[in-house]
Structure 1
Amino acid sequence: MASKSTDVENVAAKVGEVSLSESKGSKSQRKIVIAIDASGHSERALRWYLNNFHRDGDHLFLFHAVELPTIPVIGSGELFYKETLNEIIKEKHEEIKKLTLKFELIIKKDNLSATFNARDGDPPGHNIVHYAREKDADCIVIGCRGLGSIRRTILGSTSDYVIHHAHLPVIVVPPVHH
């Protein structure tokens, strides 16, 4: 049986929500959630937003859904389990720091109003939808990997999940075809 330890801190808890810029405070401001991860797909989605959809006064919520692997607990391997999970959590914290810095450079360069947040615990699609609802977002922008229909059916697709469960406009930025 696979499970996550309940006595280990939430991976993203130490990050919390980090403001990457000063809010412009406009009442007509749109709230845009942009799903980000370490892939080039999310950076492409942000750049697409900047080039095609951005309006002055928008506030961006850059959101990273942390995926923790499931580690099987076998017999009396609790110590091994905790050590392994703690190492994974340490790696995920580093990943979150790198993502924050990477996207902070883009945000500051373009003088945008943005907040960064990372969470774990649920599948990425569910986390993205929940976060967008929590922030009362006007739109979600997400990149996709461009899986074929068979692979998408077998593996699932975060963007498919978001489209079908967000109940607000979702912009899916496709991969670049060569």
Structure 2
Amino acid sequence: MEPASDNEELKNTTALTESTESKVDHTQELASESIQKETTLEADVSNVKISNPIEVCQQPISTAETANYSSEKNESTTLLKKRRIIIAVDQSSHSEKTINWAINNFINPETDKITLINVRSDVNDFFRLFTEKKKSTFEEELENQYRSESHNLIKTFGSLMIRNKISCKGFSMVGDARELIIKKAEEEKADVLIIGCKGSGKLNLFGTTAEHCIKNCTCPVICIR
């Protein structure tokens, strides 16, 4: 057999190329049809309407139900926050700082119950060291003076509490401040005791008293410096 001429090879190559181009064109047509179908499908879906749409908004609570819910919530909050607070004070200026701190930073006037206590020394204990005689006029006068100062101290700080709409009561006692403060905290079932740490009053020194309360009091103790 004679080998194919150059013209025949060229014809075959041209025919093959045309066939390939025809397949490519056919593939492009199929791809174009597929894209058109997808586009049509997307368009159809976008036009679909939901006959029964889901309601997102819930039924609002009526005014009466809202009031009852708020009342129950407030009662629960009140029970959680209600505290019995004891504040020990003496004649020092530091006690005033302690009271002001408690009012401005700790006490909740709506729920907290405050008990103010001042413990003054027993004048007779001092004089018994030197004599066993009956009370002298000087002793009685000094005792009355200490009592009056203690009562006025409680009244002054109590009035400050009342002006700030805080429920308050006060006690003036005679004896050892360290023991009596702890005893009163237990009797009142205190949730917290607030006391100054740098007292320098002539009736009681709260430096050592505060330390004793921290070590022995059954409730938390807040010391104001």
Q: Tell me if TM exceeds 0.5.
A: yes
Partner of 1:57: 111
- Give yes or no for the alignment of 1:168 onto 2:168: no
Is the contact between residue 118 and residue 154 of structure 2 (CA under 8 Å) also seen in structure 1?
Answer: no
- Separation in 2, partners of 1:95, 1:41: 16
Partner of 2:99: 46
Q: 1:113 to 1:66 in 2, by over 3 A?
A: same
1:85-114, Cα deviation, whole Å (9 max, x unpaired)? 312221122102321331132112101000
Q: Which amino acid aligns with 1:116?
A: G
Stretches of structure 2 that go unaligned for 5 or more consecutive residues are 1-77
- Separation in 1, partners of 2:199, 2:148: 27
Q: Which amino acid aligns with 2:133?
A: E
Highest RCO, 1 vs 2 (Cα 8 Å, sep ≥ 6): 1
- List 4+ stretches of structure 1 deviating above 6 A: none
Q: 1:45 to 1:72 in 2, by over 3 A?
A: same
Is the contact between residue 196 and residue 224 of structure 2 (CA under 8 Å) also seen in structure 1?
Answer: yes
- Give yes or no for the alignment of 1:142 onto 2:195: yes
- Separation in 2, partners of 1:167, 1:96: 26
Structure ranking higher in strand proportion:
1
Is the contact between residue 83 and residue 111 of structure 2 (CA under 8 Å) also seen in structure 1?
Answer: yes
Q: 1:109 to 1:87 in 2, by over 3 A?
A: same
Identity of aligned residues (%): 26
Q: Which amino acid aligns with 1:144?
A: C
Q: Which amino acid aligns with 2:128?
A: P
Structure ranking higher in helix proportion:
2
Stretches of structure 1 that go unaligned for 5 or more consecutive residues are 1-25
Count of residues paired in the alignment: 140
- CA-based RMSD of the aligned residues comes to 2.5
- Give yes or no for the alignment of 1:35 onto 2:88: yes
3-state SS of 1:160 partner? helix
- Separation in 1, partners of 2:138, 2:184: 28
Q: Which amino acid aligns with 2:155?
A: L
Of residues 145, 163, 173, the one that matches 1:119 is 173
- Give yes or no for the alignment of 1:90 onto 2:141: no
1:32-67, Cα deviation, whole Å (9 max, x unpaired)? 000011211212111111122112310000011111
Q: 1:62 to 1:49 in 2, by over 3 A?
A: same
The TM-score normalised by the length of structure 1 is: 0.70
- Separation in 1, partners of 2:223, 2:101: 10
Of residues 127, 131, 134, the one that matches 1:71 is 127
3-state SS of 1:157 partner? helix
- Separation in 2, partners of 1:74, 1:140: 36
